[in-house]
Every structure is written in C-alpha cells, then in structure tokens.
C-alpha cells in the first residue's frame, strides 16, 4: 500500500544526481505542488526525462529557471526560453529525443526491455554512434531504454491501494512514466476508498505507486 505524504516530504526523497521522469505536457498533467517543493528544498543537479520543458513559470520549466536541472532528455524546448539559453551557454546538457522514441524508451524500462528498434532518425544525425539493423529490408536504429530513479506524476484520483485514474488530456505521459521508475510519486486531487474507482477507469495499477501527495491549490 502506498504511503500518503506531503509535497515537502516528497521533495526530500529526491537527491542530487537523481534521474527523474516527470509526467505532463506543456504543464498539463504536471505535479505542480511537488515541483514547487523541489524548488523550495533546492534539490539540484537533477537529470530530467520529460516530453516538454513547459514554460518558465509553469510545470518543469520552473526547475530550469531555478537552475536545478543539470541534464535532460526531452522532445520539446520551444516554449521555454530559459532552457534554450542555458543549453546555448553549455549550462545544461540536452539530449533531444523524438517524442515517440522518448516514450517508447521509457516504456521499455517498465516492460523489462533493453531498448527498442525504430526507423525514426535513420539516415540522419540521430543515428550517429548508434547500432543499426536491417530487418526485412528496412533499416532501424537501436535506441536504448531510459532508466530513472523516480517518476513524479499527476493523476486525478487515487484509491488507498494506489490505483490511479486520470482526467482527459492530463493523462498524457503519466501512465508510462509511472511504470518505468524505481520509485513513483503521484500527486492527486483526491484519495478515495478502495472500491470507489471502477476497474474500467483505472489506468495505472497501484503496484506501480509508492507515494501519494494530495494536491493543494496555492
């Protein structure tokens, strides 16, 4: 059964140099309370795995503005000038990964796979220093699985066993991030009794969830 903790306690679980998967896309489905607590605790030198770097004042973008991220694997930087500036100055190490490839590499870890074969990036700079395979006449690049110490995700509701449901597009990358990390922390609007969530609604089984934080509006 997952443990219910505060956002401050969640932040204290993280350590410098941890690899962290953050759910969300352009701050939608993002664990804002936990991110604010990480900033307050000044947990730095983090490696971030996320689809988008969000905005300077919302989502994971706030971690970048506060210079708590030393490196990132990310697909989208276009809405955050701070990460662009830090990248150009050599202050943050960025691996740009196509969005589908990024999510499949994360999912591969959760599925116990060493990596995936993808045609994305064949005959481009993306394939540099990577193994390449020809299968049935088609070329594929081997992209290795992305591992993480923590997943920091956002869901709509959890029951006391940690089963999660999501709301509309806020679901986005959260279920895949949840299954891939060694430890998963979820921020939810509400915790309900076991049996209150329909099995048909549950997207992330509680077996993947270690800690639950109840979201509070600032």
CA distance 204 to 162: 8
pLDDT tens-digit series, residues 86-141: 999 999 999 999 999 999 999 999 999 999 999 999 999 889 999 999 999 999 99
Q: Is the pLDDT of residue 19 over 90?
A: yes
pTM: 0.95
The domain ranges of the chain are 3-113+147-214
Tokens coding 97: 């990964």
Q: Torsion over CA of 171, 177, 179 and 180, rounded to 10 degrees? A: 170
Report the pLDDT averaged over residues 172-195. 97
State percent of the chain over pLDDT 70: 100
Residue 176 CB coordination number (10 Å) = 22
- Please name every residue paired with 144 in a beta bridge, in sequence order, or none if there are none: 115
Give the C-alpha separation, 45 to 160, whole Å.
Answer: 33
Residue 39's nearest CA partner among 19, 76, 81, 69 is: 69
Asked if the model's pLDDT at residue 218 lies above 90, the reply is no
For residue 101, CA distances in Å to 60, 144, 182 come to 20, 10, 21
Mention every residue, 6+ apart, whose C-beta is less than 8 A from residue 39: 62, 63, 66, 68
Does the structure show a pLDDT above 90 at 44? yes
User: What pLDDT does residue 217 have?
Assistant: 82
Of 4, 176, 185, 155, nearest in space to 103 by CA: 176
Query: Would you tell me which CATH number, out of the four given (3.40.50.720, 3.40.1080.10, 3.30.420.40, 3.20.20.70), belongs to the domain 3-113+147-214?
Result: 3.40.1080.10
pLDDT tens readout for residues 66-96 = 999 999 999 999 999 999 999 999 999 999 9
């Amino acid at each position: 059964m997952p443990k219910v903790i505060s956002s401050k306690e969640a932040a204290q679980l993280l350590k410098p140099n941890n690899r962290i998967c953050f759910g969300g896309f352009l701050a939608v489905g993002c664990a804002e309370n936990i991110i604010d607590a990480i900033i307050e605790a000044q947990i730095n030198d983090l490696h971030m795995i996320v689809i988008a770097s969000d905005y300077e004042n919302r989502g994971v973008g706030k971690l970048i503005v506060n210079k708590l991220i030393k490196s990132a694997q990310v697909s989208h930087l276009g809405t955050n000038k701070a990460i662009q500036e830090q990248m150009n100055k050599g202050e943050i190490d960025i691996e740009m990964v196509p969005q589908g490839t990024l999510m499949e590499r994360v999912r591969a870890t959760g599925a116990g796979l060493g990596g995936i074969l993808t045609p994305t990036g064949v005959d481009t700079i993306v394939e540099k220093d990577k193994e390449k395979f020809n299968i049935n006449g088609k070329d594929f690049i081997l992209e290795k699985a992305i591992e993480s110490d923590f997943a920091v995700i956002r869901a709509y509701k959890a029951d006391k066993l940690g089963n999660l449901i999501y709301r509309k597009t806020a679901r986005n990358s959260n279920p895949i991030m949840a299954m891939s990390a060694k430890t998963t922390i979820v921020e939810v609007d509400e915790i309900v009794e076991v049996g209150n969530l329909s099995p048909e609604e549950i997207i992330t089984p509680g077996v993947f969830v270690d800690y639950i934080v109840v979201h509070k509006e600032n």
